[in-house]
Structure 1
């Protein structure tokens, strides 16, 4: 990136600033991950295809055929082998409704050393699809896939495993997610409850919502393990996926060879309780980089003070903002609400590269220029509904977390406040609850070798979570990656360390000096980029 000091060019027009800031953020996140989903192409008569049927491959008792893993947004597609395994929705009714678990398999590379214990990727959310998440994570798997098969199972209720994604026809005939569990819509608990009822009634036609929990998913994972003929597996869970991995290791320790927990969610926590506090801590750390960067506070002021002042202003009055739609280029008009800013700050905090632009955006807003904040907020929000199965998310959270959710009076004036807790409680009051073992929230205590990875600046699963889990893992080891956010398995030399760990199953023997080179991302001080 060419870096220029502020003042070397003529002042930018409003349109130029908007285009540049969208381009910068799109480059940081990946353009398709932020743009609105485009309308489907017109359907015409199919073109004739002259091709031989793809050969079938077997892994254990499951038949696989070539397929393409196509994430809804983000990374490019990937060739794989895909198959299904039929499991009972309700384990007590084996002759009842069945779920075809969608499974993707990446055969081991051509190293000549094919180890018998595959890697199972467990996606986050809850609500993300493992097969859709994998293409964006390829850099993390390049070394481990040389010797081991990679297996992805779309957790029941996600991806192509009977997805529990509610859709609601809007006035234009398009479909949008009917349930959101974030605060960017400034939704009232009453509205959230009404949408949950509508979603519940829609999905109940094809699913018993009590049986889409972590406990059900763990049972499915072991069924897949047995079906492919693996005696043991190496678990790799990200975010909520670390909960699934811990639960699997608790129930099936004899089948667990190693565990990697990336962005750790301890069994003991209730998802949602700490979101507001963790975000405040992460933003303080990230904004603190401005004070350490020459010229940042001089050019942009104090980002934390700017953010606090903006939220006070928006809670008193929501200004009408004209902004350019990043997906269509059209000019639109909407009121900027506190939830737009809170949602944007929260999601950008996951990735320090994206968070580095927040001080600049907040300084713009302090001067009454809101168009970039609005444009980016709408662009980000438009992409999220494609990435999560919200019905499955509610089945998990309402069963496993709702009873322990508590509003925190000390966080009432924070960026998120108690909005997430209020919304989750409202929705869970009308959502079916499943069952979970009595020891579900007990800590994982096992001698299974484990790596626990945290980003120093993670706004949702801070390093303290990993430290909590590590206390009962005598063969575990923590790594806190300096200056990093959420989901860090692909950062720096971490993929090579993971590959070494899989070869030796000895976390404590790893030489991790290569992680010392990780550094903080400096904040943007102009729309041209970072200061030199």
Structure 2
């Protein structure tokens, strides 16, 4: 890449040095290639590191290294205020998530650099990853398995103060990065849990924030996991109800929503062994059709229109005695997700910020997801250290900083009503909902252009958003060749 030059007076110049090493403020970047965990996707970037105290209140104590990456703008003179990307999870690494979201930033990169920092505990920033016990997937509702996993994970971090990996601590790292590169302000983009990070950073360092994009919005008041069951249920009802509106779908599959519950009850009562070819290695693999497999498919395939389009077919095949495709897909998704989430960091966040506000909800017990997430969280957090959380952490963000909120109509985890909840406390903001879409909107349709126009103009009300009306859910697959013509 060519050196990028900025006015020196802005303190954000990228030195004209060879492409293999360039400086930005006090950081030295060199070319690197970032891979997405669990896939073959890669993207070129420039990477640097920054040392910070593990405990910011003990600057002379143990230090950890943050991994920082940059996607350089194509502009001859990029704007002095870069966009920073906060990944989701909690537990995903920004540098490992970048390949999947990079296309959504294409228009932003025309005028600004995008930086992404592996949040402490993820990726290259002192990763807190836990080995998944072989019996965890099959017996994930057994409390002693869950507790043993947390204890074993914690034992592997003897030199790490895992309590220092909460959101409130992590945003202090982001401010250290901003100061290191010399940026006058940052434009924030957060996806899913990343919206919590963005709101906390804006609350702690408002003078450092120029604009905010919240995509898949998490209200500050929300205890993560407390409404997963009802949110998933609403999304599944909306998604699967479309079968009755699609030619040939009802004839092929009847009522997919009813089939989902019939299959769940059958798998719960009598799990069935299933032999499949591993989707990646093609080697024989012994799995089983159990409740966990059904719930995994229902929950995670609802996240995106592309996978939601397969739900009626997979459920129908399994209900008719052909569960191989559903079980293989459930295994593939579970393994991929386990590789992307740094579970130790996730526990450090949730156990300090959310667990004490969670409890079983009677109305959720009969739903597809039930109270399983609440139960796992309570069991594992009973043995996990709790770190610092800001006193006003759960207070709504109130600001006049320009904010653009993005939601998908059928988002199974952060529904549009969350966006409306956060919008109510903002002074200069707008909430856009993508018709037929799921979790994370930035990559969809004209959203990349709208996001870039917002960051440049800081006027959410001026955005021409009629182009979003062209978004639609994908038609359901009627067989493995796709939808009917």
Please report the TM-score for the alignment, with normalisation by the length of structure 1. Answer: 0.86
1:430 maps to what in 2? Answer: 383
- Give me the whole-angstrom Cα distance separating, in 1, the residues matched to 2:306 and 2:35: 25
1:88 maps to what in 2? Answer: 53
| TM-fit CA distance, 1:61 | 0.8
8 Å Cα contact 1:197-1:430 kept in structure 2? yes
SS of 2:339 mapped into structure 1: coil
2:169 maps to what in 1? Answer: 216
SS of 1:333 mapped into structure 2: strand
User: Is 1:309 matched up with 2:273?
Assistant: no
8 Å Cα contact 2:133-2:149 kept in structure 1? no
User: Is 1:192 matched up with 2:146?
Assistant: yes
Distance 1:455 1:515, change over 3 A: same
Aligned with 2:338 (options 375, 385, 390):
385
- Give me the whole-angstrom Cα distance separating, in 1, the residues matched to 2:62 and 2:328: 44
| TM-fit CA distance, 1:355 | 1.1
| TM-fit CA distance, 1:55 | 4.0
8 Å Cα contact 2:135-2:145 kept in structure 1? no
CA deviations on 1:470-489 (whole Å, 9 max, x unpaired) are 00112010001000000110
Aligned with 1:201 (options 155, 158, 174):
155
Alignment of 1:57-96 (within 5 A): 57-74=22-39, 76-96=41-61
- Give me the whole-angstrom Cα distance separating, in 1, the residues matched to 2:134 and 2:168: 25
| TM-fit CA distance, 1:75 | 5.8
SS of 1:99 mapped into structure 2: strand
| TM-fit CA distance, 1:177 | 6.6
CA deviations on 1:208-258 (whole Å, 9 max, x unpaired) are 011001011110001100110011000000000000000011111111000
2:106 maps to what in 1? Answer: 142
8 Å Cα contact 1:166-1:177 kept in structure 2? no
8 Å Cα contact 1:184-1:381 kept in structure 2? no
- Give me the whole-angstrom Cα distance separating, in 1, the residues matched to 2:19 and 2:429: 43
Q: What's the RMSD between the two structures over aligned residues?
A: 1.6
Distance 1:117 1:70, change over 3 A: same
CA deviations on 1:116-168 (whole Å, 9 max, x unpaired) are 0000000000000111111121211111011111111100000100000023x
Where does structure 1 differ by over 4 angstroms across 4 or more consecutive aligned residues? 176-180
| TM-fit CA distance, 1:335 | 2.8
- Give me the whole-angstrom Cα distance separating, in 2, the residues matched to 1:131 and 1:272: 25
CA deviations on 1:9-31 (whole Å, 9 max, x unpaired) are xxxxxxxxxxxxxxxxxxxxxxx
Aligned with 1:289 (options 242, 245, 258):
242
8 Å Cα contact 2:139-2:145 kept in structure 1? no
User: Is 1:408 matched up with 2:408?
Assistant: no
1:465 maps to what in 2? Answer: 418
Aligned with 1:259 (options 199, 208, 212):
212
User: Is 1:131 matched up with 2:85?
Assistant: no
Distance 1:178 1:107, change over 3 A: farther
- Give me the whole-angstrom Cα distance separating, in 2, the residues matched to 1:78 and 1:321: 37
Q: 5+ residue gaps in structure 2?
A: 1-17
1:171 maps to what in 2? Answer: none
User: Is 1:226 matched up with 2:186?
Assistant: no
- Give me the whole-angstrom Cα distance separating, in 2, the residues matched to 1:177 and 1:64: 38
1:101 maps to what in 2? Answer: 66
- Give me the whole-angstrom Cα distance separating, in 1, the residues matched to 2:141 and 2:347: 16
- Give me the whole-angstrom Cα distance separating, in 2, the residues matched to 1:333 and 1:398: 34
- Give me the whole-angstrom Cα distance separating, in 2, the residues matched to 1:104 and 1:213: 21
- Give me the whole-angstrom Cα distance separating, in 2, the residues matched to 1:531 and 1:208: 56
User: Is 1:237 matched up with 2:190?
Assistant: yes
SS of 2:265 mapped into structure 1: helix
- Give me the whole-angstrom Cα distance separating, in 1, the residues matched to 2:27 and 2:481: 53
CA deviations on 1:233-290 (whole Å, 9 max, x unpaired) are 0000000000000001111111100000000001000001101110000000000110
SS of 1:511 mapped into structure 2: coil
8 Å Cα contact 1:185-1:340 kept in structure 2? no
CA deviations on 1:327-363 (whole Å, 9 max, x unpaired) are 2223333332101110121111101210111101111
- Give me the whole-angstrom Cα distance separating, in 1, the residues matched to 2:40 and 2:199: 28
SS of 1:385 mapped into structure 2: helix
- Give me the whole-angstrom Cα distance separating, in 2, the residues matched to 1:469 and 1:395: 25
